[in-house]
Amino acid sequence: MLPKKSAICQQFRKCGKAGCKCNSGSLHGPYFFYFYREDGKLKKSYIRKADAPELWKNYSRWREVRNKRAADRKEFTELNKELRLIDRLISELSHMEATGAWK
């Protein structure tokens, strides 16, 4: 799946040499790439092998935080709906008491 904004992805590659093991399915890698969008076009840049573990760890942590925030936003939306319902019910009860419709 192509990223909407940015992502770090692992890829395995063929080298193209005639007698290489990758031609029989054992690909080289993993290689890490940073995918991002610039002016609506998908671009990618190579991440050096020495930098990959730290960047991958940070990226994984960022995704966990992003997913947690999304779950929190969803929970907040649901709680907000419930509060609006309770507020509406209280308002209706107050109106009924004021007009004498309750009795």
Q: What is the mean pLDDT of each run of 10 residues along the chain (103 residues)?
A: 76 89 89 89 91 88 92 96 95 84 62
Rounded to two decimals, the pTM is 0.56
The reported pLDDT for the residue numbered 24 is: 86
Secondary structure of residue 37 in the 3-state scheme: strand
Separation in Å, CA 80 to CA 41, 71, 74, 95: 37, 14, 10, 22
Spatial distance between the Cα atoms of 87 and 80, rounded to a whole number of angstroms: 10
Work out the burial of residue 33: count CB atoms within 10 Å of its CB; fewer than 13 is exposed, 13-18 middle, 19 or more buried: middle
> Looking at this protein, which amino acid is placed at residue 6?
S
